[in-house]
A and B are shown apart, each in its own frame.
Chain A
């Protein structure tokens, strides 16, 4: 994998790159030493979140670039669990770098075991994947005429609990808390009914959105009254 990153760095204007995997952090990197491993993990984790929004906003974004004064950052989605982050000079030839990334992306994916798992899930027959999302509809709270959706759960069925979670989350990650909560609640609803005894599962998944360990502890502390 390190060799593949070195190949990307041969493109003019590329400072270095790293491969991030959600559950394992930085898998490989050849970024300059000024970007220490902890910083790389934090940055890549934040950048990878953008791809998690695809489902929520009905988009299929698979790469993006951010232009700063000092650098251009390119982020390529390798699979649901992993991203490639490339840091370039601000005036780097994006098309050339993108070509190099595109050519090597499939080789990188083949070296990441988490990508194998998500690809296997994505390629499951439709009939099998439809079982889980329909499960919550069998619960008593979902039998009313109103459809069970994220808005209804957050603003009606579990308004008090969700308000507590949103406030606690906002203290840790700021104004993106509302969107992050909606995103995670949607996934939570896909695995079961919106019941109070499942709030701990939701809290656990939200912990993954908070980078700082002390903030994670504070977040769980704020939720004690509802868990």
Chain B
């Protein structure tokens, strides 16, 4: 089983995830599930690039994830490695921390 397949299968088992999108660093969609994936794909690519953009000023390494919270308390979780960006649209019942614990090791393995 490919690593992306393993990742998406694991994401499918997690409750309260409404949409999932996996893109390359330039925003090309590799895998998607949900109705608004193009918009979500563009958004996560933009957010990830923004977090990369400030690194030179701060001398930080990473970033590893971003958590965006909406007024409704719904969240967008973004995980990234050198090759891909994973975006998950979570409802307000969902807690990002255990999802990160579960998915980070899988995201870190993905290369192509």
Q: A residues bordering B, Cβ < 8 Å?
A: 35, 39, 42-43, 46-47, 49-50, 53, 57-71, 174-176, 179
Contacts and interface: CB of A to CB of B under 8 A. Distances in A.
Contacts of B47: 50, 64
Given A47-B54, A58-B39, A175-B27, 6 more contacts: A46-B50, A47-B50, A58-B36, A64-B68, A67-B63, A69-B60
B60 A60 contact: no
B62 interface: yes
A45 to B, nearest CB: 10
Interface of B: 26-27, 36, 39-40, 42-43, 46-47, 49-51, 53-55, 57-72, 76
A46 B57 CA distance: 11
B46 to A, nearest CB: 5
A68 B53 CA distance: 13
Contacts of A49: 50
A179 B46 contact: yes
B70 A176 contact: no
12 contacts: A42-B54, A42-B57, A47-B54, A50-B50, A60-B70, A61-B68, A68-B60, A68-B61, A69-B61, A69-B64, A176-B46, A176-B50
Contacts of B62: 67-69
A63 B75 CA distance: 10
Contact of B57 (A39, A58, A62, A70): A39
At the interface, is chain B mostly helix, strand, loop or mixed?
Answer: mixed
Contacts of A61: 68-70, 76
Contacts of B54: 42-43, 46-47
B57 A43 contact: yes
A179 B38 CA distance: 12
B61 A70 contact: yes
B75 to A, nearest CB: 9
Contacts of A43: 54, 57-58
Given A46-B53, A71-B60, A66 B66 contact: yes
Contacts of B71: 60, 62
Contacts of B27: 175
A114 B43 CA distance: 26
A67 B26 contact: no
A35 B60 CA distance: 12
Given A50-B50, A174-B49, A176-B46, A67 B76 contact: no
A67 B65 contact: yes
A66 B63 contact: yes
Which 6 A-B pairs have CB atoms at the shortest separation, nearest pair first? A68-B60, A68-B62, A64-B68, A69-B61, A60-B71, A61-B68
